[in-house]
Chains A and B, each alone.
Chain A
Amino acid sequence: MREYSDLIYKYTRVDHLPHIWCAGCGNGILTRDVAVAFERLKLEREKTVVVSGIGCSSRAAGYLDVNTIHTTHGRALAFATGIKLANPELHVVVITGDGDCAAIGGNHLIHAARRNIDLTAIVFNNNTYGMTGGQYSPTTPTGDKGTTAPYGNIDRAFDIARLAESSGASYTARGTAYHTLETIQAIERGILHKGFSLIDCYSVCPTYYGRKNKKGSAVDMLIWQRDHGVPRARYDALSPEERQGKFPVGILQQNDYPEFIEQYQRIIDGCETEQERSAFIHD
């Protein structure tokens, strides 16, 4: 009897399963969403690269059966920038977390967005530092607790999707562990999008964030996502009153701002017609 589905066999390294995530963690669902998006897009696995940083989210790379690189904390987008620029034929997808991309890697996030380089960043946003045991993160809501916020978090939380949008990302979307269909679609479209795309996916961390903040079980946390997240089309139809306490799931914004590598290629093409000007000798 086969232990796993065809999808799992095709896109994950089954000999490295089971994964290290806790029971109830949303990261497994989100990793599957990524695999489904790859499958739907028929991405050639040999031409696909998943880059991750450090943290719970970033262990996803090791399980996916493509080219994977588990880098240093916060730097996944910078590594990915080098990979994509060096070989634009590769599909380069970054899996990162809220601490990885919005705290230690915040500078790389805003600059990758500003350049609008053709990368797809998928954030497994669980509102905490899970790997180190539940410290407050840049997306921990004000007032919530973490092991380093025993009296409640006094910082305000980033909305990573809005942060990316305001920094110049030409595609941003919201996913959740609950809204699987919308999340898969958002990832798919993000990969297809030419430019910097970011899908900010709310994960759930019942072990640390949930337990510290009395959010109930993993199921309770998913139910919260169901009751507060509204697919984009339906959300748009809601009145301002009905939108109170709700958030849209799906594409948040998309535009066709020029992409970095295409623009750089134009510089190269322009240089080649100039035939290695003598400029380099006596400039």
Chain B
Amino acid sequence: MSELRLLQGNEACVEGALAAGMRFFAGYPITPSTEIAERCALRLPQKGGKFIQMEDELASIAAVIGASVAGVKAMTATSGPGFSLMQENIGYASLAEIPCVIVNVQRCGPSSGLPTSPAQGDYMQARWGTHGDHPIIAISPSTVQEAYTLMIRCFNLSEKYRVPVIFLMDEIVGHLREGTEFPAAESLELYERVSSPVMGIDKHCYQVEEGEWAPRLNPFGRGERYNITGLIHDEGGFPTNNKATARALISRLLDKIDRNTEDICDAREYRMEDAEIAVVCYGGTVRSAMAAVERARAEGARVGMFRPVTVWPFPEARLRAWLPQLKGLIVAEHNHGQMLLEVERVARRPARMIGRVNGTLIPPDEIYAAIMEDNV
């Protein structure tokens, strides 16, 4: 571990990405994510990487996918309005299985909303923003340190499953400064994209090896000549209208996430052992909830916190394991009830919602009061 550095969440996520091997960034300025582009502009050429400010978010995500096709770990960063613009190509990356990381530092919406104020209103958009049934992974950090470490996990999962990964930050963590340690480079576990030396020219670039979930597409320029398309395609990478092929492809795309949730899903539990009430929250909201849970615990309440780190797919098996002992479920998020729907789906019972959409943070007192009310 290095010395403690005072870093902003947005800056830490860039350092994490660089540690993961990110060497390409394309983006467009937007509050509250702009520091990410600024730091990439400064840092990437120092690492021999490339930064480009594109003309809009449509172009940014397109350039990122292009760079990944050329074999470089690539990312972009944006906030709500830009995230909306990126959705079509996020679907493209899902279907064409091009690894990439999209950072969304959420701000208060809808539309232009409150650009400098926090919110978590893009939770559902991160899952369902692009059209069609598609695979996606989304991860949400709660501290500046995690903005660094979880960014590395974003790249690892993206490369391993060849799927776009959304780093679902929020203004709370993005603009927060805290002490951050950079782990030693040799201690990092990095997943490098598997490419196949045996891939036949042009034939079965999208064929998936036995026991694997994603194809081993080589970067353009490595020797093969193959086709990538956003149309439903066969194992050769060419468009087809064959219904059986379409079904097989879409099933595999969804299965590669759904059947690997144990590997992908991550959640953190705090004082859940004997908890009868759980506060479920993620991202920056964890900061309010932890303060409330600690205070309530100090006063004897049997309360814990369940925090999805992988917010998509929702770590439902982990939550389900706690349900028998829980009498109360409180969901806190900076929106009008989005993860609430997932929690209630998994719990099959109503949860109490503490939400906020006015650009301010949920004060710990509010969560504390809800805990104490439920704690009877």
- Chains A and B in contact, CB within 8 Å: yes
Chain A interfacial positions (CB closer than 8 Å to B): 13, 16, 45-47, 49, 51, 61-62, 65-72, 74-75, 78-87, 89-90, 107-108, 110-111, 264, 267-268, 270-272, 274, 276-277, 279-283
Asked whether any CB of chain A lies closer than 8 Å to the CB of B191, the reply is no
Q: Knowing A82-B63, A82-B65 touch, does A67 contact B225 (C-beta < 8 A)?
A: yes
The reply to whether B225 and A70 form a contact with Cβ atoms under 8 Å apart is no
The reply to whether B48 and A281 form a contact with Cβ atoms under 8 Å apart is no
Q: How far is the CA of A276 from the CA of B48 in the complex (A)?
A: 10
Residues in B whose Cβ lies below 8 Å from that of A49: 220-221
User: Which residue on B lies nearest to A104, using beta carbons?
Assistant: B58
User: Which residue on B lies nearest to A61, using beta carbons?
Assistant: B227
The reply to whether A85 and B67 form a contact with Cβ atoms under 8 Å apart is yes
Asked whether any CB of chain A lies closer than 8 Å to the CB of B169, the reply is no
Q: Knowing A67-B226, A82-B74, A280-B43 touch, does A108 contact B59 (C-beta < 8 A)?
A: yes
Q: Which of B228-236, B247-255, B286-294, B301-309 contacts A (4 or more CB under 8 A)?
A: B228-236
Interface of B is mostly: mixed
- Contact check: which of A72, A276, A279 meets B89 at CB < 8 Å? A72
The reply to whether B225 and A65 form a contact with Cβ atoms under 8 Å apart is yes
Q: Knowing A78-B63, A85-B67 touch, does A268 contact B45 (C-beta < 8 A)?
A: yes
* Distance from A145 Cβ to chain B, minimum over Cβ atoms (Å): 30
Q: How far is the CA of A51 from the CA of B96 in the complex (A)?
A: 14
The reply to whether B221 and A47 form a contact with Cβ atoms under 8 Å apart is yes
B window 8-26: CB within 8 A of A? 15, 23-24, 26
Q: How far is the CA of A239 from the CA of B167 in the complex (A)?
A: 62
The reply to whether B225 and A46 form a contact with Cβ atoms under 8 Å apart is yes
User: Which residue on A lies nearest to B6, using beta carbons?
Assistant: A282
* Distance from B230 Cβ to chain A, minimum over Cβ atoms (Å): 6
Interface mask (B61-81 → A, CB under 8 Å = 1, otherwise 0): 011111111111010000000
* Distance from B148 Cβ to chain A, minimum over Cβ atoms (Å): 13
What would 8 more interface pairs be, CB under 8 Å, given A67-B220, A69-B227, A81-B62? Answer: A69-B69, A75-B58, A82-B26, A82-B63, A108-B59, A111-B59, A270-B45, A280-B15
Asked whether any CB of chain A lies closer than 8 Å to the CB of B187, the reply is no
Residues in B whose Cβ lies below 8 Å from that of A62: 227, 229, 238-239
* Distance from B121 Cβ to chain A, minimum over Cβ atoms (Å): 25
The reply to whether B58 and A78 form a contact with Cβ atoms under 8 Å apart is yes
Residues in A whose Cβ lies below 8 Å from that of B71: 86-87
Q: How far is the CA of A66 from the CA of B223 in the complex (A)?
A: 10
The reply to whether A89 and B46 form a contact with Cβ atoms under 8 Å apart is no
The reply to whether A90 and B221 form a contact with Cβ atoms under 8 Å apart is yes
Interface residues on B, range: 35 or more
- Contact check: which of B62, B74, B89, B231 meets A86 at CB < 8 Å? B74
Asked whether any CB of chain A lies closer than 8 Å to the CB of B127, the reply is no
- Contact check: which of B55, B92, B238 meets A111 at CB < 8 Å? B55
Q: How far is the CA of A69 from the CA of B47 in the complex (A)?
A: 28
The reply to whether A86 and B55 form a contact with Cβ atoms under 8 Å apart is no
The reply to whether B58 and A271 form a contact with Cβ atoms under 8 Å apart is no
Listed A/B pairs (18) with beta-carbon separation below 8 Å: A13-B202, A66-B225, A69-B66, A69-B227, A75-B58, A75-B62, A79-B63, A81-B62, A82-B70, A83-B66, A85-B52, A87-B219, A87-B220, A264-B45, A264-B50, A264-B52, A272-B48, A280-B43
Asked whether any CB of chain A lies closer than 8 Å to the CB of B56, the reply is yes
The reply to whether B72 and A87 form a contact with Cβ atoms under 8 Å apart is yes
The reply to whether B43 and A86 form a contact with Cβ atoms under 8 Å apart is no
Q: How far is the CA of A283 from the CA of B230 in the complex (A)?
A: 41
The reply to whether A86 and B70 form a contact with Cβ atoms under 8 Å apart is yes
Q: Knowing A75-B89, A85-B52, A271-B46 touch, does A68 contact B69 (C-beta < 8 A)?
A: no
- Contact check: which of B26, B62, B72, B74 meets A72 at CB < 8 Å? B62
The reply to whether B227 and A68 form a contact with Cβ atoms under 8 Å apart is yes
* Distance from B43 Cβ to chain A, minimum over Cβ atoms (Å): 6
- Contact check: which of A67, A71, A281 meets B62 at CB < 8 Å? A71
The reply to whether B238 and A75 form a contact with Cβ atoms under 8 Å apart is no
Q: Which of A16, A81, A83 has the most B CB atoms < 10 Å from its CB?
A: A83
User: Which residue on B lies nearest to A58, using beta carbons?
Assistant: B229
The reply to whether B5 and A83 form a contact with Cβ atoms under 8 Å apart is no
The reply to whether A81 and B229 form a contact with Cβ atoms under 8 Å apart is no
Residues in B whose Cβ lies below 8 Å from that of A108: 55, 58-59, 62
Residues in B whose Cβ lies below 8 Å from that of A65: 202, 225
Residues in A whose Cβ lies below 8 Å from that of B176: none
The reply to whether B227 and A280 form a contact with Cβ atoms under 8 Å apart is no
The reply to whether B221 and A89 form a contact with Cβ atoms under 8 Å apart is yes
* Distance from A265 Cβ to chain B, minimum over Cβ atoms (Å): 9
* Distance from B63 Cβ to chain A, minimum over Cβ atoms (Å): 3
- Contact check: which of B54, B66, B238 meets A80 at CB < 8 Å? B66
Shortest 6 CB-CB distances between A and B: which pairs? Answer: A82-B66, A82-B63, A78-B62, A86-B67, A78-B59, A86-B70
Q: Knowing A67-B220, A67-B226, A83-B70 touch, does A268 contact B48 (C-beta < 8 A)?
A: yes
User: Which residue on A lies nearest to B52, using beta carbons?
Assistant: A85
B window 28-50: CB within 8 A of A? 39, 42-43, 45-48, 50
The reply to whether A281 and B5 form a contact with Cβ atoms under 8 Å apart is yes
The reply to whether A111 and B54 form a contact with Cβ atoms under 8 Å apart is yes
The reply to whether A75 and B42 form a contact with Cβ atoms under 8 Å apart is no
Q: Knowing A66-B225, A89-B221, A268-B48 touch, does A81 contact B54 (C-beta < 8 A)?
A: yes
Asked whether any CB of chain A lies closer than 8 Å to the CB of B88, the reply is yes
User: Which residue on A lies nearest to B203, using beta carbons?
Assistant: A15
Q: How far is the CA of A147 from the CA of B69 in the complex (A)?
A: 37
Residues in A whose Cβ lies below 8 Å from that of B220: 49, 67, 69, 83, 87, 90
Q: How far is the CA of A47 from the CA of B231 in the complex (A)?
A: 24
The reply to whether A280 and B46 form a contact with Cβ atoms under 8 Å apart is yes
Q: Knowing A75-B62, A79-B66, A87-B70 touch, does A46 contact B55 (C-beta < 8 A)?
A: no
* Distance from A178 Cβ to chain B, minimum over Cβ atoms (Å): 29
User: Which residue on B lies nearest to A115, using beta carbons?
Assistant: B52
- Contact check: which of A45, A81, A86 meets B72 at CB < 8 Å? A86
The reply to whether A90 and B70 form a contact with Cβ atoms under 8 Å apart is yes
Residues in A whose Cβ lies below 8 Å from that of B374: none
Interface mask (B91-129 → A, CB under 8 Å = 1, otherwise 0): 010000000000000000000000000000000000000
